[in-house]
Chain A
């Protein structure tokens, strides 16, 4: 276990150290202490390592992550796992706005609540939120899955493309072109897998969720919808 004291050693040294790690590294377990809400912790990691952050983080923790498993033993500030490519990011507490924004792949698990714009413009990432999500979540979401065990705020999935949204609790309102869709067997299978990987299979069953997706009326140009663009 490599222990990195962020307060003593500094952010640039941390990220520079993590960036030297590669697929062959033997230093596969890292612990970051004294994060104290700092920004950009463990951003741009590209190695199959396990990183545990002992405390809460500021903006953009685990951004652009590839391969790594990053666990935050606290809450995360805005833009956690933004543009993640692969790997897993697990937040034990809450996540602030735009968690997992533009994520291309990998899995983001938020064990508390996520606030507004969770999964905005997601394009391949899977996000599992154990609590609630705020307004404008999955705005323009292109692909991947967003699973919410609690409630969703206003305008869920506004201008949605092909991302799949599963919400267990009430949805305050659906955004433009987002509709409820039939839950078919393949969706239940997908959901069962996501709940398992999202450490939530003991908390909820796939049958308890409703599925939302794109009505596909907005994103292919149709002259009759011109006023809505």
Chain B
């Protein structure tokens, strides 16, 4: 089991409340995944700017002076905002790859959780309510976001094994289910130049989509390809800079409910994750069909 929640806002008036709405949805899904939780939240990109979200098991040591060290190394202005075990670094978009390489050299115990113009990812081991409180997720604003509560089946309960997984700029994926051919797909993707941090099956699905999109597929086409190339149980919810997508495997035993109003599109593993959303009583509520790709883009 695992829990997934997602919100794609159509009405900008709701953007200041995105974190609060997603946090409530996430906590409702605690029963489905009490061992770790994570959230990917997308904000409006600032012109020419990008963000790196970095996690460290020793934030006191690793984050001290990190922004300044990166500035010195890249010659670009870098600022950082620390949230518990994560730091969000703001820097010029054209220095993203350089900064990423510099972090690996400067702080080997730190991990880049996400990189891109809009995305920030926060994830940790622990109950969803505790994870949400550590990062103050409820106060965040944004345009769309995805959350996950994990009950681990395929790999260890670690921060790196929590969802969302991000394997490309502004991309992320969360998963309910388990893949059975992830080792062979991982080998193929490694030969194609993708890199992996964990033994986790979901990371393979994320990298699979990233690789397809690097090859020119759009989000919908990349998601369509999961239906032929990935074997196992899955409900995936995927985020990109301006998009949000859902796909379920053909057997579709992992639950999924969607709701749409003029203000938002919402996803929940269960309807109860969505019961307090504004206008839910009059929303169009449906169960996404098996082997069918749904996506929304701005």
A116 at the interface (CB under 8 A from B): yes
Whether A38 contacts B253 in the complex (CB less than 8 A), given A115-B287, A134-B290, A135-B290, comes out as no
**How many of chain B's residues touch chain A, expressed as a range?**
10 to 19
Contacts of A93 in B (CB 8 A): 285
| CB contact between B270 and one of A58, A94, A115 (< 8 Å): that residue | A58
Complex: A134 Cα to B251 Cα, angstroms = 10
A75 at the interface (CB under 8 A from B): yes
B255 at the interface (CB under 8 A from A): yes
Give the shortest distance, in Å, between A51 (CB) and chain B (any CB).
Answer: 19
Contact mask for chain B residues 238-282; partner A; CB cutoff 8 A; 1 contact, 0 none:
000000000000111101010000000000001111110000000
Measured CB to CB, the nearest residue on chain A to B288 is A115
B286 at the interface (CB under 8 A from A): yes
A77 at the interface (CB under 8 A from B): yes
Contacts of A77 in B (CB 8 A): 255, 270-271
A144 at the interface (CB under 8 A from B): no
Give the shortest distance, in Å, between A77 (CB) and chain B (any CB).
Answer: 6
Contacts of B275 in A (CB 8 A): 36-37
A63 at the interface (CB under 8 A from B): no
Q: B255 and A75: CB pair below 8 A?
A: no
Contacts of A38 in B (CB 8 A): 272
Contacts of B252 in A (CB 8 A): 97, 115-116, 134-135
A65 at the interface (CB under 8 A from B): no
Q: B271 and A58: CB pair below 8 A?
A: yes
Q: B287 and A96: CB pair below 8 A?
A: yes
Measured CB to CB, the nearest residue on chain A to B287 is A115
Whether A37 contacts B271 in the complex (CB less than 8 A), given A96-B255, A97-B253, A116-B252, comes out as yes
Contacts of A59 in B (CB 8 A): 270
Contact mask for chain B residues 132-152; partner A; CB cutoff 8 A; 1 contact, 0 none:
000000000000000000000
A56 at the interface (CB under 8 A from B): yes
Give the shortest distance, in Å, between B117 (CB) and chain A (any CB).
Answer: 35
Q: B272 and A37: CB pair below 8 A?
A: yes
Q: A37 and B270: CB pair below 8 A?
A: yes
Complex: A134 Cα to B255 Cα, angstroms = 14
| CB contact between B285 and one of A36, A39, A75, A115 (< 8 Å): that residue | A75
Whether A94 contacts B287 in the complex (CB less than 8 A), given A78-B255, A116-B252, comes out as yes
Complex: A184 Cα to B290 Cα, angstroms = 35
Give the shortest distance, in Å, between B277 (CB) and chain A (any CB).
Answer: 12
Q: B271 and A97: CB pair below 8 A?
A: no
Whether A58 contacts B272 in the complex (CB less than 8 A), given A75-B285, A97-B252, comes out as yes
Within 8 A of B (CB), among A102-155: 115-116, 134-135
Contacts of A115 in B (CB 8 A): 252, 287
Give the shortest distance, in Å, between A41 (CB) and chain B (any CB).
Answer: 11
Q: A56 and B290: CB pair below 8 A?
A: no
Contacts of A75 in B (CB 8 A): 271, 285
Whether A94 contacts B286 in the complex (CB less than 8 A), given A37-B270, A75-B271, comes out as yes
Contacts of A58 in B (CB 8 A): 270-272
Q: A97 and B286: CB pair below 8 A?
A: no
Measured CB to CB, the nearest residue on chain B to A34 is B275
Contact mask for chain A residues 90-101; partner B; CB cutoff 8 A; 1 contact, 0 none:
000110110000
Contacts of B250 in A (CB 8 A): 135
Complex: A93 Cα to B285 Cα, angstroms = 10
Contacts of B287 in A (CB 8 A): 94, 96, 115
Complex: A54 Cα to B55 Cα, angstroms = 45
Complex: A37 Cα to B252 Cα, angstroms = 20
Q: B272 and A36: CB pair below 8 A?
A: yes
Contacts of B272 in A (CB 8 A): 36-39, 58
Interface residues in chain B, defined as those with a beta carbon under 8 Å from any beta carbon in chain A: 250-253, 255, 257, 270-275, 285-287, 290
Q: Which 9 A-B pairs have the closest CB atoms?
A: A37-B272, A37-B271, A36-B275, A115-B287, A37-B275, A56-B271, A58-B272, A58-B270, A116-B252
Interface residues in chain A, defined as those with a beta carbon under 8 Å from any beta carbon in chain B: 36-39, 56, 58-59, 75, 77-78, 93-94, 96-97, 115-116, 134-135
Q: With contacts A36-B272, A58-B271, A97-B253 known, what are 10 further pairs, Cβ within 8 A?
A: A37-B273, A38-B272, A39-B272, A56-B285, A77-B255, A93-B285, A94-B286, A116-B251, A116-B290, A134-B252
Q: List 21 A-B contacts (CB under 8 A).
A: A36-B272, A37-B270, A37-B272, A37-B275, A38-B272, A39-B272, A56-B271, A56-B285, A75-B271, A75-B285, A77-B255, A77-B270, A77-B271, A93-B285, A94-B286, A94-B287, A96-B287, A115-B252, A116-B252, A134-B290, A135-B252
